[in-house]
Amino acid sequence: MTFKERNQNQILLLPPSFRDFLGEGHEAVILDEFMRELDTKALEQSYNNEHGGSSAYHPAMLLSVLIYGYMNGIFSSRKIAKHLSQDLAFMYLAGAAKPDFRTLARFRREKGQYLETIMAGVVGKAKDLGLVSFGTCSLDGTKIKANASKDKYVRKDDLEKNIKKMLTEAGRIDEAEDGLYGDKEDAKDPALKTKAGRDRRKKELAQMRKKEEGKLVKLGDREAANLTDPDAKLMKMKQGAGFANAYNIQSVTENGIILSSSIFTTSADQGALVPAMEDFKAAHGTLPEKLLADKGYSSEDNYAFCEHAQIDAYIPPYQEATDLSGFRYDPRHDTYTDTHGCAYVFKQRADRKDASLRIGRPRSVEAKRRSHHLYRRALYVHCDRRTGKKKYLQISPQWQTYVERQKKKLSSAAGKLLYKRRMYDVEGAFANIKKNLGFTAFNLRGLAGVTAEWILVSLVHNLKKVM
């Protein structure tokens, strides 16, 4: 048998570049070329060492290394730092520099706010390529686990009960010190039979109480929170995964490209539509022409918002409007009578007018849900004279109008075809991030850290679509 020569000590006459080994079509080479076209001035200007001090690693290099790591399912700063010494692609992007894991972790944590501009630049590139036009967009949410264990989730009342219990036991030991038990053999607790045992137990209780009181201080005004990441909330996860400390990620996509995202610490989607649209407006200076979302986003507020903002929304109603076809209305007495002759008389009316719509104003991720529309619900009641039982009829003319409008649009051939895009658009983006990239839990903590990391993940997802 003959084999090619195997020589690990082969000497190269001329020093080659990493690019020679990788080739022009390698993902790292394409990423480097793409990143050089993006505007990173704001990120670079965030460093304040022009008047002295040691030079810093170039932020564009650090960002490229982090993005390539996330592209390949490597989210740990320690693991990325290790690859910088043994992986040609990482070495090429870093220019043979070897920033340690602390530098990478600090950059990811502290410079996340500057990634929004870079994210907008990538979306702009996608727009130039004709991949997005802010025409038909999709909105959906997914829950991503926080970097916090369920064991660290505490409630204020539980902590207070534990502290009270420890104080009670400490008082019982004090009674023993006063001679209630003394050194008698029939003491209830063997640990309290001797003075040494009592002193040891008192010391343990003091340490335990101090620990619980420390948790109470960290909890602050909250009734319950996770002490590792107080911003995270206990949420029900999908696919039978039970409950976990997590964040609710709301993203707007077009053709599978993430255009904007909002982070929520509440699990319901209904109140997320307006803030998500405001974030979209702040990022791109405009709103989508059409918006596709599932029935979890249906509400009078959301329909009114879209109508006022001139967004053509396709959102299935979460419930049918009251069917009044079997009722006869008497305007003189303001009553509704059903086919059985039961008369429903007016009971009360609920008027509501929220603050006027303010699109594009500065706002936090957890901004209040806003609506511009004045709407009215009326409640009618029928009381059976024989049994005394009451039946209610709730009427909302505005809701009925929205329901009829949505059902008409979504039942048309064009509407059905359009609405199908939502499934592979926004749901496909989440599937790629969770399944292909393997990103299912945050590495950073706190709302600011989580927001920065999600922008980084969105960047990675978009780059793989655009490159």
pLDDT, residue 375, reads 44
Quote the Cα angle for 434-450-33, to 5°: 70
Which amino acid is located at 33 in the chain? E
DSSP type of residue 434: I
Identify the sign of the CA torsion 276, 279, 280, 281. Answer: positive
CA 199 vs CA 170, 175, 354, 456: distances in Å: 10, 13, 62, 54
Name the phi and psi angles at 389, rounded to 5: -75, 145
Strand pairing class (328-330; 335-337): antiparallel
Structure-token pair, residue 45: 């200007």
Radius of gyration of the chain (CA): 31
Q: Give the per-residue pLDDT at 173.
A: 66
* Contact by Cβ (8 Å): 378, 296: no
| Dist. CA 268–CA 76, nearest whole Å | 30
Q: Give dist(CA 450, CA 457) in Å, integer.
A: 10
CA distance 425 to 432: 11
Burial 313-322 (b: 16+ CB within 10 A, else e): bbbbbeeebe
Q: If you write DSSP's letter for every residue of 262-304 in order, what string do you get?
A: EEESS--SGGGHHHHHHHHHHHHSS--SEEE--GGG--HHHHH
CA 41 to chain centre: 28
Grouped pLDDT means (10 residues each) for the chain, 467 residues: 65 73 91 91 81 78 95 95 95 93 93 89 93 96 89 68 70 62 53 70 74 68 74 83 89 96 92 96 95 94 94 92 83 88 84 42 39 58 89 84 93 95 93 95 93 95 92
Concatenating the DSSP letter of every residue in 301-343 gives HHHHHHHHTT-EEE---SSPPP--TT-EEETTTTEEE-TT-PE
Q: For position 197, what pLDDT does the model report?
A: 73
Buried b (16+ CB within 10 A) or exposed e, 159-186: beebbeebeebeebbeebeeeebeeeee
Q: Is 68 exposed, middle or buried (0-12, 13-18, 19+ CB in 10 A)?
A: buried
* CA pair distance 413, 63, nearest whole angstrom: 45
Identity at 148, one-letter amino acid code:
A
Structure tokens at 448: 């600011």
Nearest to 288 by CA among 256, 254, 257: 254
Query: Is 175:192 a contact under the CB 8 Å cutoff?
Result: no
State the Cα–Cα distance between residues 289 and 106, nearest whole angstrom: 39
pLDDT for residue 93: 95
What is the token pair recorded at 321?
A: 């409007």
**Whole-prediction pTM:** 0.78
Residue type, 103: T
pLDDT at 201: 75
Adjacency order of strands within the sheet including 390-395: 328-330, 335-337, 343-353, 374-383, 390-395
Alpha-carbon torsion 188, 191, 196, 199, what sign? negative
Two structure tokens written together for 27: 């993902």
Return the SS3 of 449: helix
Q: What's the pLDDT score for residue 52?
A: 57
Q: At 19, which amino acid appears?
A: R
* CA pair distance 245, 213, nearest whole angstrom: 23
